[in-house]
A and B are shown apart, each in its own frame.
Chain A
Amino acid sequence: MTLGTGLGADSARTWRDPADRPPPVPEALRPPAPGTVGPRERHRLLWERHRLRRERALTHLRESQDPERGLPVAPPGTVVRYLRGLLRRRAGLVVVVTLANALAAAAGLAVPLLLGRLVDVVVEADGRPGAGVVTDLALLVVGVLVAQAVLTYLAKWLAAVLGQGVLAEAREHVVRAVLRLPLGKVESASTGDLVTRVTRDVGSMSSAVRWALPEFIIGVVTVLLTVVAMVLNSWALAVPTLVTASLSLWQVRRYLQHAPAAYLLEGATYSLINSTLSETVEGARTVEALGLQPERRRAAADDIEVSSQAERYGLVLRNILFVVMDMAFSLPRVITLVVGAVLYARGVVTLGQITAAMLYIETFYGPFDRLVGTIDELQVGIASTTRLLGIAEVPPDRTPGEALPAGRELVGRGLRYAYREGQDVLHGIDLTLRPGERLAVVGPSGSGKSTLGRLLSGIHGPGSGSVTVGGVELVRLPLDALRREVALVTQEHHVFRGSVRDNLVLAREGASDDEVWRALATVDASTWVAALPRGLDTVLGAGNQVLTPAQAQQVALARLILADPHTLVLDEATSLIDPRTARHLEGSMSALLTNRTVVAIAHRLHTAHDADRIAVVQDGRIVELGSHDELMEADGEYAALWRAWTS
Chain B
Amino acid sequence: MRDFPPTVTAWASPGSAGEPDTRGPGRFLWWLVRQQPDLIVAACLCSLAWMLPTALTPWVFGRAIDEGIVPGDRGQVLLWSAVLLVVTLVGASSGVFYHTVVVRSWLVASYGQTLMVTHKTARLGHVLTRRAPAGEVLSVSGGDGEQFGHFVEIVSRLVGNLVAYLLVAVIVLQISVPLGLVVLLVAPLLVVVSTVLLRPLSAAQTRERSRDSELTTMATDIVAGLRILRGIGGERIFGDNYARQSQRVRSAGVQAGGWAAFVEAVGVLLSGLFVVALLVLGVRAVGRGDLQIGQLVTFLGYAVFLVQPIRVVFEAAQQITRSFVSARKTIGVLGTPDPWPGRPPAELDAGGDLVDEASGLRARPGRLTMVVSAVPDDTAALADRLGRYLPADDTLTTPEDDEATGRAARRARLERETARAELAGRDAERAERPWGVHLGGVDLSRLPLEVVRRTVVVSDTRAHVFAGTLQDAVDPHHRLTREQAEEALHAAAAEDVFDILPGGWQGVLDERGRGLSGGQRQRLVLTRALATDAPVLVLVEPTSAVDAHTEARIAARLPGHRRGRTTVVMTASPLLLHHADEVAFVEDGRVVATGTHDELVASCEGYRRTVLRGEREPASAPVGTGRDGATSPDDGSTWGPAAPAGQQHVIPEHRPEEVTSP
Contacts and interface: CB of A to CB of B under 8 A. Distances in A.
Nearest to B634: A579
Interface stretch (B31-39, B87-95, B178-186, B421-429): B87-95
Interface in B194-239: 212, 215-239
Contacts of A276: 467
Given A179-B235, A288-B453, A607-B638, A196 B657 contact: yes
A507 interface: yes
A599 to B, nearest CB: 11
Interface stretch (A142-150, A221-229, A252-260): A142-150
B260 A322 contact: no
Given A157-B258, A497-B217, A577-B644, A322 B96 contact: yes
A489 to B, nearest CB: 9
Given A190-B510, A281-B138, A285-B129, A153 B261 contact: yes
A333 B268 contact: no
B84 A192 contact: no
B655 A605 contact: no
Of B250, B275, B550, most A-chain CB atoms within 10 Å: B250
B649 interface: yes
B303 to A, nearest CB: 10
A190 to B, nearest CB: 6
Nearest to B514: A190
Contacts of B653: 282
A278 B134 contact: yes
A281 B233 contact: no
B129 A200 contact: no
B636 A338 contact: no
Interface residues of B, number: 216
A160 B258 contact: yes
A506 B228 contact: yes
B216 to A, nearest CB: 6
B124 A496 contact: no
B470 to A, nearest CB: 9
Contact of A492 (B85, B624, B652): B652
Interface in A268-306: 270-271, 273-293, 295-297, 299-301, 304-305
A531 to B, nearest CB: 12
A118 B134 CA distance: 63
B181 to A, nearest CB: 21
Given A14-B505, A118-B279, A304-B5, A583 B235 contact: no
A473 interface: no
Interface stretch (B115-123, B310-318, B347-355, B406-414): B115-123
Contact of A4 (B61, B103, B490): B490
Contact of A508 (B103, B233, B652): B233
A252 B496 CA distance: 54
A176 B643 CA distance: 39
Given A183-B231, A493-B651, A281 B254 contact: no
A45 B607 CA distance: 73
B533 to A, nearest CB: 12
B226 A311 contact: no
A264 to B, nearest CB: 10
A239 interface: no
Given A159-B257, A176-B239, A285 B279 contact: no
Contacts of A491: 518, 647, 649-651
B265 A138 contact: no
Interface in A533-564: 541-543, 548-551, 559-560, 563
Contact of A300 (B74, B118, B269, B510): B118
A327 interface: yes
A165 interface: yes
A300 B117 CA distance: 10
B104 to A, nearest CB: 9
A464 interface: no
B636 A582 contact: yes
B69 interface: yes
Contacts of A641: 548-549, 552
Interface in A331-353: 331, 333-334, 337-338, 340-341, 344-345, 351
A286 B464 contact: yes
Nearest to A309: B5
A17 B617 CA distance: 54
Contacts, number: 638
B654 A442 contact: no
B623 interface: yes
Interface in A107-144: 108, 111, 115, 118-119, 122-123, 127-129, 134, 138, 141-142
A1 B84 contact: no
Contact of B261 (A3, A157, A442): A157
Contacts of B15: none
A65 interface: no
B651 A149 contact: no
Interface stretch (B322-330, B477-485, B562-570): B477-485
A139 B634 CA distance: 89
B96 A323 contact: yes
Contact of A584 (B511, B574, B619, B646): B619
Interface string B102-138: 0100010001001101110111111011000010011
A497 B389 CA distance: 33
A12 B482 contact: yes
A515 interface: no
A444 interface: yes
Contact of A142 (B250, B273, B498, B519): B273
A315 B453 contact: no
A168 B253 CA distance: 10
Given A199-B220, A551-B624, A291 B454 contact: yes
Interface string B617-637: 011010111111011111111
A445 B547 contact: yes
A498 to B, nearest CB: 6
Contacts of A479: 230, 233
A88 interface: no
Contacts of A18: 478
Given A11-B504, A355-B300, A579 B232 contact: no
Contact of A282 (B464, B619, B660): B464
Contact of B660 (A194, A274, A541): A274
A210 to B, nearest CB: 7
Of A341, A459, A493, most B-chain CB atoms within 10 Å: A341
Contact of B644 (A165, A273, A563, A574): A574
B125 A179 contact: no
Contact of B466 (A150, A279, A563): A279
B644 A287 contact: no
A14 B469 CA distance: 11
B164 interface: no
Q: Which 3 A-B pairs have the closest CB atoms?
A: A160-B257, A506-B234, A288-B125
10 contacts: A123-B293, A157-B254, A199-B657, A284-B122, A289-B458, A492-B225, A492-B227, A603-B545, A641-B548, A646-B574
